[in-house]
A = this chain, B = another copy of it.
Amino acid sequence: MATTDKASTRDRLLDAAAELTYRQGVSIGIDALCRSAGVSKRSMYQLFDSKDDLLAASLERRIPLYEEQLTPGPQDPATPRERILGVFERLEKFSAQPEYRGCPFLAALVELKDPEHPASAVAGGAKQRLKEMFRTEAELGGARDPEFLARQLMLLFDGASARAGARIETLDGLTTTTATVLLDAAGVE
């Protein structure tokens, strides 16, 4: 395969893995993944050692867009409090879309049930980065205990994404109101 062919085959596999696992779960078979990507199993195994590696790489590839859509940019003029609330505003907006199935990283962790799985490590890293963003803003906003507030906000975020993704909750205003309560209690103005 030429280098560009390889790249496009790789991208097709990563996109198919990301989309199919998001809709159907990580137990999706290799055959279905390759079929959806239009790639032979032989080509797949030339690019990835295993399905586990493909899963991990597909989650890794989602991180930049996920963060761009969810977290405030460096130029965002809002206050730390507004920047934290903005994450929940965007979560509420995304969760209202019919194709929403919850946070892809939390879902992978729940489904894999194995902290040692390479995809769990990637997913845990993505969650850790969101927590660190909350902690940084909490610190800038004068929270009494920024780390503790960040952990509370992650409980809220993950509970909301799981429940909305499973269609047992509608977030409209629920997470922003709850985040406001937590910010107030933590002393973030």
Contact = CB atoms under 8 A, between A and B. Distances in A.
- State how many copies of this chain the complex holds: 2
Interface string A91-118: 0000000000110001101111101000
Interface of A: 23-25, 27, 101-102, 106-107, 109-113, 115, 120, 124, 127-128, 148, 151-152, 154-160, 162-163, 165-169, 174-175, 177-178, 181-182, 184-185
A166 B23 contact: no
A185 B177 CA distance: 11
A175 B162 contact: no
Given A110-B110, A162-B159, A169-B154, A185 B175 contact: no
Contact of A159 (B107, B112, B155): B155
A166 B115 contact: yes
